[in-house]
Structure 1
């Protein structure tokens, strides 16, 4: 296998590869032509790389398909195998994020350094806001993308180009060797028990009280709360528990119900006070719906609109922001109520394994990683308890002597 270079213009080269076969019509050797931009040494290295790929049988015939065209093909391919919400996120990242950055690059010519350069630009350069103000004036430039956003871009690109390798459009995945942006972990916000008690007292008169109660005393996720039906609850004096079997997810096509995040159902024990609140809520809800001519049953949603219709996840979030804004409490997300419950459990000395099962984590490692900030206090308490027991034993032994 031989190859040579031909300079077309300064910095632009033709890489000509003799593949060894002869055209049966002309008798001339078949050749493969590649265009390359860069220095002579770089062109020579590219020529050597192509020869190596052909020799090893790893050569992929270049096409004119761009990265943008490939991403659209990939999105169509994965649609039947991923959740609707996941596909929506991937579509937004591909069309609004990756395509503006590298969409015009020919797929077969996409290299790691080109991707790294695009991500560096996204992290450092102000973005153009194409929206215009009401007076018609152009908007101010937007801030560069955050490392977390670029991290998500990179993750999706690695996945997409992995499929290009499987389809033999690429010999290797150029995104895997890119430098991941450094993402700082978000500081987890949570209410302590005093703030939690204050919140429950302040928001008791609102329709948000029950979803708040389920989040902060049971650790339920937003989607799990909105998928909860009365048949999932056992409010008897001896059992007092509920089964988390579904989760509500909002997509562009509406709300769908799917398995919980961990992929399996779980049972969550209820405290006596939570059961009392749920019983009172069920009575109020039934009375409210009966006045509208609606007969509630076991399939009715625990958290619902006045007419019994399911509540949308986004609506719950908006209402949480609204009612919280009327209090003097620190502003946290609705999901942070779940974090608050986890912190309360661990601070009270509940074993992380029990907390993990209650929260529906797929493994105890996730619980320990997420709530490591609670652990130092637990370790200090444990050290004191061990020391008290040890000193008591030493004192007892000395008295015996």
Structure 2
């Protein structure tokens, strides 16, 4: 469910929140603005834009990121196991092992994050953990997944925005991409879904809106000059000639402009 104004009002009145909800575009911008000075801003920005899973983003090491080419390789995930602590493992599925392309703004965010991390490491000297993780705990070591989730919940509450889970940022990334006109197959690859059916089923609530907008764009392309074109017609004896259509005479894809008796369009 998208946190529309009505949904937010109902939540504030009843206190009941949906199990899965995503922010609107404006709410997403507000959150990124709110956390822009946070130490882990780069992580929240990356998940918001690219939809990485929590374990995937925490398992990233700097060799996995090519800032010159603008690409992130997802080759592992970091998970917490009882009795074993933090453990690296393979991605969730074969499809989850993927390369995600980055936009220029996200590349810039990651460059700034790397620079700040280098300064942080210099300040701690030998105390800094040299594991090479992109997003780390304060000492440079791996960041526990649940600790990240707690931080996100704290920031979400402080921002005053309606509640979402950290994993919902992944859903939000897909929703915003679809709303921006990105093809479903591309969104599937970005998320690392094994099947496009899974992607379509998961985001079925946003797909009708996307399809409707696509239909409107198509109609706009086809009909935008319909009131000004001169359409050739074929008469009974096959004679062709232009017939001027009066301005604004085309009623749309289901209408028909009146022509002389016996005449038919040959468009």
- Normalised by the size of structure 1, how large is the TM-score? 0.51
| Contact 1:231/1:299 (8 A) holds in 2 | no
Task: Quote the Cα distance in structure 2 between the aligned partners of 1:187 and 1:351.
Answer: 27
Decide which of 361, 369, 385 is 2:201's aligned counterpart: 369
Alpha-carbon distance, 1:325 to partner: 1.5
2:58 alignment counterpart: 226
Structure with the higher fraction of residues in helix conformation? 1
Q: Does 1:244 align with 2:74?
A: yes
2:254 alignment counterpart: none
Alpha-carbon distance, 1:299 to partner: 5.3
Decide which of 322, 335, 338 is 2:154's aligned counterpart: 322
1:284 alignment counterpart: 116
Alpha-carbon distance, 1:388 to partner: 2.1
| Contact 2:72/2:99 (8 A) holds in 1 | yes
Q: Does 1:257 align with 2:100?
A: no
| Contact 1:294/1:307 (8 A) holds in 2 | no
Task: Quote the Cα distance in structure 2 between the aligned partners of 1:386 and 1:324.
Answer: 39
Q: How does 1:135-146 map to 2 (within 5 A)?
A: none
Task: Quote the Cα distance in structure 2 between the aligned partners of 1:299 and 1:268.
Answer: 23
Q: Does 1:300 align with 2:132?
A: yes
Which structure 1 residue ranges, 5 or more long, are not aligned? 1-185
Other structure's SS at 1:398 match: strand
Task: Quote the Cα distance in structure 2 between the aligned partners of 1:211 and 1:189.
Answer: 20
Q: How does 1:115-194 map to 2 (within 5 A)?
A: 188-194=20-26
| Contact 1:208/1:319 (8 A) holds in 2 | no
Alpha-carbon distance, 1:214 to partner: 1.4
| Contact 2:131/2:140 (8 A) holds in 1 | no
Other structure's SS at 2:142 match: coil
1:275 alignment counterpart: 107
Count of residue pairs the alignment pairs up: 214
Q: Does 1:391 align with 2:223?
A: yes
Alpha-carbon distance, 1:350 to partner: 0.5
Alpha-carbon distance, 1:250 to partner: 1.1
Alpha-carbon distance, 1:397 to partner: 4.8
Q: How does 1:23-102 map to 2 (within 5 A)?
A: none
Larger gyration radius, structure 1 or structure 2: 1
Which structure 2 residue ranges, 5 or more long, are not aligned? 1-17, 233-241, 244-267
Alpha-carbon distance, 1:382 to partner: 1.8
- Normalised by the size of structure 2, how large is the TM-score? 0.75
1:138-195, Cα deviation, whole Å (9 max, x unpaired): xxxxxxxxxxxxxxxxxxxxxxxxxxxxxxxxxxxxxxxxxxxxxxxx7531112111
Task: Quote the Cα distance in structure 1 between the aligned partners of 2:115 and 2:222.
Answer: 53
1:196 alignment counterpart: 28
- Compare 241-250 and 261-270 and name the one that shifted more: 261-270
Change (3 A) 1:298 1:245: farther
| Contact 1:245/1:266 (8 A) holds in 2 | yes
Decide which of 187, 199, 208 is 2:40's aligned counterpart: 208
- Compare 366-375 and 209-218 and name the one that shifted more: 209-218
